[in-house]
Amino acid sequence: MSAKTGDEKIRCDACPVMCFISDGRAGACDRYANHGGVLVRLDPLTVIEGGGPMVPFLGREWDGDIVQGDRPIVDAPIRIGPFVTAIGAGTTYPDYKPAPFIVSQMVGDADMITVVTEGIFSYCGVKVKIDTDRHIGEERAIVRVDGEAIGHVMTGEYGSKMLSLGGVEHLTGGTKKEGRVTCDALLALCNCEAVEMTVDDGVTLIVQAGRAPVIDGVPEKLMRVGCGSAAIGMFAQQWVAHVDEVVVVDDHITGVLTEHEAGKQLAMRPAGIRVTGRRSTPGRYFQVANPGTGWGGTDVTDPLTIIKSVDPKIAWPGLRLLMISTTGEQSAYFVLDGDLSPQPAEIPAPLRAIAERIADNCEPSLCSVLFMGGAGGSLRAGVTENPVGLTRSVKDALTRVTVGGAEAYVWPGGGITVMADVTRMPSNAFGYVPTPALVAPIEFTMRREDYAALGGHMDRIRPVEDVLTPAIRRLPRGAK
């Protein structure tokens, strides 16, 4: 893995940078160092202690059914012992090398093989889910760190905004600075550190896995209980005895109680209050205001601005109107005067209690960071001399894929494209190389006979007892 040079430096070939490292110094990645003329991995191999559920293995040939709901299940042990992760294992670069650790372990009556390696991922990125109603930027808007483009805004999902960050185009397809900034941001996010970023024509965000997003300096608190229409469906029966009309302000679907089917089912009297926007179905309105950081993800700060008209043939003096956001954090109560103009009034206690109940039903806002990468050349060659054999074994559910010990979702289709929650991995599971690329742990676990069938490096298998040395890093299952 190293070669001496005339000046007593050694060359590290753990990645394409091929650093020459002096004695007592580390390479550019801070992962490998020259210790007395020997190249050493600075981080200890990480082993997760304790039991955990095992996946069942497929008991027949795969017929192309992705769901495989009717497949027979091969009996598998329920719990496993120490699990050797790839964190601290080293890499398989260049491609001809077998994986650094190929470990055998008896699990019940099954002889299981786990192949571990720290892969160098240029084709990788993160998908970020931000729980918020606030408008952070238009779909496809560029996301930047230190002024450099590192990704873009994706679709808005139910109560969340999504970001796609990284990828080979940002890592290697732009300027040197863009690649470096992108790699630094991905590394921090994958290691559960905070990253500040901006969205073009949008907001400033601080994103950290497992923490609340900070939007324009304000920490987000609650994720919506539902859209405006859903909120009406959930709380109509609680409102009906205390108010004559409720408008739930929402950037996506604003709900109007008496027009809504829930209000009709409860035999509520029509109130004659019309809101702005495009009517979808009874009691459901789109585009009542522009997106923003106000009520329900709109730019509304005064809820009365979305009242288009009050029908004098239907409304009446004394009509009680509640306007509320999808999280219950903003609410206002009005009573119509003799001119049918809404006048602010103190919100009655029962309505205040329902607003608090809405907030109580909202989950805390969090940022979720999922690492996503494609397992290509050196990863597969480190497992088998016939790389497509590993791909087929994964697709046939004969091989289980984990990332730093965390369960990985394997995408359908060609190749081995994996996605995993970084909060389920031990701390500092990710590294980098200055090419630039991320270094991510990945493990492949299968039965010994299946490993032999896919052409595995059988002569490199080591019993797990040989790996469990005092130098390894041991973590209880679930610990960071």
Structure tokens at 231: 């909120």
Instruction: Indicate the burial class of 290 (C-beta count within 10 angstroms; 0-12, 13-18, 19 or more).
Output: exposed
Task: Measure CA of the first residue to CA of the last residue in the chain; give whole Å.
Answer: 30
The residue that leads in pLDDT, 26 or 77, is 26
pLDDT of 94 reads 77
CA distance 271 to 295: 22
Q: pLDDT confidence of 311, banded at 50, 70, 90?
A: very high
The residue that leads in pLDDT, 478 or 382, is 382
pLDDT of 183 reads 97
CA distance 98 to 383: 6
Residue-wise pLDDT tens digits, 348-359: 999 999 999 999
CA distance 257 to 228: 10
CA distance 225 to 359: 8
By percentage, how much of the chain surpasses pLDDT 70? 92
Residue-wise pLDDT tens digits, 318-369: 999 999 999 999 999 999 999 999 999 999 999 999 999 999 999 999 999 9
CA distance 440 to 429: 7
Cβ contacts of residue 265 below 8 Å, gap of 6+? none
pLDDT of 473 reads 81
The residue that leads in pLDDT, 45 or 203, is 203
Which amino acid type is present at position 342? P
Residue range 390-397: mean pLDDT, rounded? 94
Instruction: Indicate the burial class of 453 (C-beta count within 10 angstroms; 0-12, 13-18, 19 or more).
Output: middle
Q: pLDDT confidence of 43, banded at 50, 70, 90?
A: confident
Residue-wise pLDDT tens digits, 250-308: 999 999 999 999 999 999 999 999 999 999 999 999 999 999 989 999 999 999 999 99
Query: Which among 410, 437, 409, 445 has a CA at the least distance from the CA of 424?
Result: 409
CA distance 410 to 110: 24
CA distance 218 to 236: 31
Q: pLDDT confidence of 73, banded at 50, 70, 90?
A: very low
pLDDT of 80 reads 57
By percentage, how much of the chain surpasses pLDDT 90? 73
CB atoms within 10 A of CB 274: 18
**Greatest Cα pair distance in the chain:** 96
Report whether pLDDT(462) > 90: yes
pLDDT of 58 reads 44
Question: What's the 3-state SS for the chain?
Answer: CEEECCCCCEEECCCCCCCEECECCECCCCCEEEECCEEEECCCCEEEECCCECCCEECCCCCCCCCCCCCCEECCCCECCCEECCCCCCCCCCCCCCCCEEEEEEECCEEEEEEEEEEEECCEEEEEEEECCCCCCCCCCEEEECCEEEEEEEEEECCEEEEEEECHHHHHCCCHHHHHHHHHHHHHHHCCCCEEEEECCCCEEEECECCCCEECCEECCECCCCCHHHHHHHHHHHHCCCCCEEEEECCCCEEECCCCHHHHHCCCCCCCEEECCEEEECCEEECCCCECCCHHHECCCCHHHHEEEECCCCCCCCCEEEEEECCCCCEEEEEECCCCCEEECCCCHHHHHHHHHHHHCCCECCEEEEEEEECCHHHHHCCECCHHHHHHHHHCCCCEEEECCEECEECCCCCCEEEEEHHHCCCCCCEEECCCEEEEEEEEEEEHHHHHHCCECHHHEEEHHHHCCCCCEEEECCCC
Q: What angle do CA 98, 104, 107 make, to 5 degrees?
A: 150
Residue-wise pLDDT tens digits, 195-238: 999 999 999 999 999 999 999 999 999 998 899 999 999 999 99
CA distance 342 to 365: 33
Return mean pLDDT, the chain.
89
